[in-house]
Amino acid sequence: MAFSSRTKKEIYQAIFEENAFPFGEFLVIPRDALMRFIKVEPAELSSDVERMYNDILKDVLHFYQSTGGREDISLNIPSGPRYTKFVYVVDPLAIYIPYHYHIPELYGVYFREKVIEKDSREYLKLAYRLLTDDHFYERLRISNFDKHDIQAILKHPALSIGILLALYFESLYTHIMAHHVLEDVSTWYEINNIDKYSAIHDAKKEEAFCEYIMYRAAKGELGWNEPQGGYALKVLYDLRDVFSIPPISPDYLMRFVKAFRSVFPAILYIHRHKTMYQDYQFYVPSIDEEISMKLSFVFNGLWLDHMYGVEPMRVHVEGKEIFDRMFLIGL
């Protein structure tokens, strides 16, 4: 027996509501904890730690192909619909040029080297300050097991810096990858005559959504990332291969990544409230009610494919997919 159009619409509506994103501001940590730790002053790094940080950051940046600034890339944040022929995404720390852009050879992710060097240093200084504060672990209710692992690793600067930077670069990767998946969703909507151009029509609301996705991935939550792996583990393997960090076994590296995931989202959240969110308040993670329903489970499926290195909507530019189009730009 066929369903009536009205019944079908009710069924579809129920499915979307069941799978909708929670709307509103996303609190990574309780607001009172944020207010307490945002007052913490970053630690000054010792000369040895500073040297190791510079060396390891240089090695991480070398994993990406370097490209110079281009005249047709202007540093602004467009407010209209994205994923058209003449619009690209400019974030404070990275740029995403979509495959819809009128110069297809530019398609890809561009990490902003100069800004990252400055921002990652301030992030690391704050991380060292918070990770040596027992109140931080207590307020976030970090397990004694994870706390023991983290504090043991802090005694080995190269390894702790490597893990903290690996998670930092994963956050850059997942935020910008959320933009890419939104372009895929937008393309799918357009092909099926559901919508035109961007799935999210407000650039500022899109940034808040991408921050939300980034924190879900940073936590290593099921369906968003691998608790013991993800892009952070890939960065650590690369660092191990060039001897930037000690030759730790994969099992231990995965264990340490999982331990640091228990504190990393909070550290990044506090850091960004002291920096990026001060300048660009619309980046604070949140989801608009309309977006919550509109994306629903459509985004989730495409996102999970990308987390496992699969490009479901295959777009080849110069024979390469998005995973091989990660660049470093001197802006």
Residue 199: strand, helix, or coil: coil
User: Residue 281: inside a domain, yes or no?
Assistant: yes
* DSSP 8-state code for residue 317: B
* Cβ atoms of 60 and 53 closer than 8 Å: no
Q: Give me the amino acid identity at 21.
A: F
Render pLDDT for 60-117 as a digit per residue (tens, 0 to 9): 999 999 986 554 555 555 555 677 667 778 899 999 989 888 788 889 999 999 999 9
Assigned domain for 20 exists: no
How much is the pLDDT for 172?
A: 98
Would you state the pLDDT for residue 148? Answer: 97
Q: Indicate whether 277 belongs to any domain.
A: yes
- Residue at 28 is within a domain: no
Tokens standing for 255? 């264990």
Q: Which domain holds residue 209?
A: 46-329
Cα 51 from chain centroid (whole Å) = 26
Task: Please answer whether residues 74 and 88 qualify as being in contact, where contact means their C-beta atoms are separated by less than 8 angstroms.
Answer: no
Distance CA 277, CA 296 (A): 26
> For the stretch 25-64, what's the b/e string if a residue is b when 16 or more beta carbons lie within 10 angstroms of its beta carbon?
ebebbeeebbeebeeeebbebeeebeebbeebbebbbeeb
Is 218 in contact with 225 (CB distance < 8 Å)? yes
Residue 2 has what pLDDT?
A: 64
Q: Would 18 be classed as within a structural domain?
A: no
Residue 187 lies in a domain: yes
User: What is the tally of structural domains in the chain?
Assistant: 1
Residue-by-residue DSSP string for 201-246: S-HHHHHHHHHHHHHHHHTT-TTT--TT-HHHHHHHHHHHHTTSS-
Query: Is there a domain that residue 140 lies in?
Result: yes
CB 219 within 8 A of CB 208: no
| Token code pair at residue 136 | 């931080």
Angstrom distances, CA of residue 203 to CA of 6, 80, 83, 88, 167: 34, 6, 11, 11, 26
Report the pLDDT value the prediction gives residue 112, as an integer from 0 to 100. Answer: 94
State which residues of the chain have pLDDT below 70.
1-3, 8, 12, 68-81, 84-85, 193, 195-197
Nearest CA-CA partner of 225 in 186, 254, 267: 254
Residue 162 belongs to a domain: yes
pLDDT for res 128: 96
Residue 134, judged by CB atoms within 10 A of its CB (0-12, 13-18, 19+), counts as exposed
Mark residue 163 as left, alpha or beta (left: phi above 0; alpha: psi -120 to 50; beta: remaining): alpha
CA dist 123 and 270 (Å) reads 9
